[in-house]
Amino acid sequence: MRHRWIHLFFGKTALAAAALAGFLLFTGVPRLHADDCQHRIVRADHRLHEAIEHHGYASPQAERGRRELHEAREFCWRANHRWWDEHEHRWHTERDWDDHDHDHDHH
């Protein structure tokens, strides 16, 4: 009888631990997506600035950088319905980015 109570106790403890682990895992997922999105956009923005600086505003490298930045913003929008603005250092909850925002730096 005592043996049965030990198994019952450990079974309930294991179930509670699994439930807690699942809860903690799923509550952390949005934060991980947001961090990944922000990192993607920051990296693409930096690459675009570097391409413009090293190869010129109208270079193929700059065009590729613009495309990568657009794709990073689209990825974040699809995943979270928000995107990171590296220039303003804030999240936007509207799909209001300007694919030519770096063009304004050139003029």
pLDDT of residue 76: 94
CA distance 96 to 105: 18
pLDDT-derived band at 29 (thresholds 50, 70, 90) equals very low
Residue 92 confidence (pLDDT) above 80: yes
Cα separation, 31 vs 66, whole angstroms? 26
- Over 90: is that where the pLDDT of 57 sits? yes
pLDDT of residue 100: 83
pTM: 0.66
| Per-domain boundaries in the chain | 31-106
